[in-house]
A and B are shown apart, each in its own frame.
Chain A
Amino acid sequence: MREDALLHRRVATVVGWSALVSLAVLAVLGLWVAPPDAVQRDAQRLMYLHVPAAWLAYLAFGVTALGSALYLWRRTRSPVWDRIAGASAEIGVVFTALTLVLGSLWGRPVWGIWWAWDARLVTTAVLFFLYVGYLALRRIPGPGRATRCAIAALIAFVDVPIVHFSVDWWRTLHQEGTVFNDELKAQIHGTMAFTLFWGVLAFTLVFVYLLDKRYRLEALEEGRDERELEQAIAERVASGETGPGGAADLVDSGAPR
C-alpha cells in the first residue's frame, strides 16, 4: 500500500507541474503567438480561456453525475464515488463562475453587451445555480448525505440538456440568431485553433490535478466529521443526558426542533 501511495504522489506531482507549465505555454500562445482576430482583434484572446473554462465546467459536472450514478448503483457503491462527485462539484462551480465572468469580459468589447439570452449562456447560468444547490446540500452532514447528493446531482444532470434545448428553441422561434452562434461556429484556423486546443488540454490537466487534491481533502474532512460526531455522542452519553432522541439530534436527520 505504501508504494501505491508514493506512486500516487509522484503522478500527482507530475500532473501538477504539467498543468502549470501548460498554462504558462497557453499564456504565451494566447497572448503573443496567436494573431489578433480579423473581426474581434485582441479581445479574441479571452476565448482561449473562456472556452476551456466552459469545457471544464461541463466536464466537472459530468464527473459529478458519473460519480453519483456509480455511487447509487449497488454493484459499484463506494464512498470513493461520492467523494469524487463532491470534489468535482466544487471545482465545477468555480469554473462555471469563471466561465460566466470571462464570457462577459469577452462579450463587452466584441458585441457591446455584458450578457445575452442565448442557450449557451443561459444554460451555463442555470448550471451555476444547480451546482450551488448541490454544494449547499453537501454541507449538510449525516448518514444520508451521499444518497441525497447523488440523486440531486442526477436530477440536475438530466435537466441541463432540457434547459439548453428549450432556450435554444425559444431563441430560434424568436428568430434572433445571436451573433455568438455565428461567430463561434466560424472556422478557426491554424495557430488560433491550436491555441484553443492547447487551452482545453491545459485546463483538463488542471482539472485532474485539482480533483485529486480536492478528493483528498474530501476524504480527510469526512474522517474528521465522523470523529467529531463520535466524540460528541460519547460526551453526550457520558454526561448522562438522555432526553427524547438522546444523542440522535446531533445528527441532522431527526424531528423538527
Chain B
Amino acid sequence: MNLWREVMLVAGKDLRIEARSRVTLYQVLPFGLIVVLLFAFALDPSRGVLARVAPGLFWVAVLLAALLAVSRSFQVETENAARDGLRLSGLDPAAVFLGKAGAIAVQLAVLEVALGAGVAFLYDVELRSVGLLVAAAVAATAGVAATGTLYGVLAAGLRVRETLVPLLLLPVVAPVMLGATRAWEAGLGRAASDGWPWVALLALFATLYTSIGMLAFGSLLEEA
C-alpha cells in the first residue's frame, strides 16, 4: 500500500472513532467555548478590550482544546492493545504519524470554525482578510497537530501522560501562538503590519515538525 493510502487508512480510523463517539464534538468543543466565555469574565467585556485581544484569546482557546484532542487521540490507542496493533500492522510509521496528525488537524479545524464564530459573536470583531485568516489557521493547525502527535506518541504508554503532554507541548508551540495571533490580528484589521510573513513562519514550523514527526514516530511507537 502506498504512503497516501496508509495515511488515509489511519486518519479514517481515527475520524470514524470520533464520528461514533462524538467526544471532540460534545466535550472538547464545549470546553473551548467555555474557555472563550471565561476569558470574558477575566477581562473587561466593554467593547474595546475583548475585540483587541480576540485573536490571542482565540488561539489560546484553540491550543487548550488541542491538548484535549491530542490526549483523546492517544487515549483511543490504549484500549485493546491498539498500539501493539499499530506496531504489528506493517504500516509505515510515517504514515501512522501523518494519519493521526491529520485526524487531529481535521478535528481542530472544526473546533476553530466553531470557536471562531464564538469569538466573532461574543467579542464583536470584524473580518478583514479571510484568506489570511484561513491560511494562518491551516499552517498553525498543522504545526500544532504535528507537534501534538509527536509528544502524544512519546508519552503514549506512560501513566503520567495526561499531565506530561501539556507541559512538553506548550513551550514548543509558543512560536505558533505568536505567529498565529499576529497573523489573525492583521486578518481582523487590528495590526498595521502584514500578516503573511507570519503565515510563512507558521508554515516553516509545520513543515519542520511534520518532518521530525515522520522520522521519529517509528522509534517512539516501538518504545510506547
Contact = CB atoms under 8 A, between A and B. Distances in A.
B178 A144 contact: no
A252 B172 contact: no
Contacts of B219: 72, 147, 151
A253 interface: yes
Interface string A165-197: 111011001000000000000000000000000
A130 B172 contact: yes
Most buried by B among A142, A159, A163: A159
Contacts of A136: 160, 164, 167-168
B88 interface: no
A79 interface: no
Interface string A4-22: 0000000000000000000
Interface string B199-224: 00100110011001000100110111
Most buried by B among A136, A154, A162: A162
B175 interface: yes
Main secondary structure of the interface of B (DSSP, over half): helix
Contacts of A142: 158
B27 interface: no
A149 to B, nearest CB: 9
Interface in B161-175: 164, 167-168, 170-172, 174-175
B147 interface: yes
Contact of B193 (A132, A140, A143, A173): A173
Given A133-B167, A158-B212, A255-B81, A148 B154 contact: yes
Most buried by B among A137, A155, A170, A256: A155
B150 interface: yes
B159 interface: yes
A167 B178 contact: yes
B160 A140 contact: yes
A98 interface: no
B179 interface: yes
B189 interface: no
Given A137-B164, A151-B220, A155-B150, A252 B159 contact: yes
A179 to B, nearest CB: 22
Contacts, number: 92
B12 interface: no
A152 B159 contact: no
Contacts of B129: none
Main secondary structure of the interface of A (DSSP, over half): helix
Given A147-B220, A152-B154, A252-B158, A162 B175 contact: yes
A159 B143 CA distance: 12
A126 B174 contact: yes
A119 to B, nearest CB: 11
A254 to B, nearest CB: 7
B157 interface: yes
Give the bracket for the number of chain A residues in contact with chain B.
35 or more
A136 B178 CA distance: 25
A162 B167 CA distance: 19
A129 interface: yes
B178 A155 contact: no
Contacts of B205: 162
B159 A137 contact: no
Nearest to A253: B157
A162 B172 CA distance: 9
A147 B174 CA distance: 24
Contacts of B182: 170, 173
A143 B167 contact: no
Nearest to B216: A151
B175 A155 contact: no
Contacts of B167: 129, 132-133, 136
Given A126-B171, A137-B164, A158-B212, 6 more contacts: A126-B174, A133-B164, A148-B220, A159-B172, A165-B201, A257-B159
Interface of B: 78, 81, 147, 150-151, 154-155, 157-160, 164, 167-168, 170-172, 174-175, 178-179, 182, 193, 197, 201, 204-205, 208-209, 212, 216, 219-220, 222-224
12 contacts: A72-B219, A129-B167, A132-B167, A144-B222, A151-B150, A151-B216, A152-B154, A155-B172, A159-B175, A163-B174, A163-B175, A256-B78
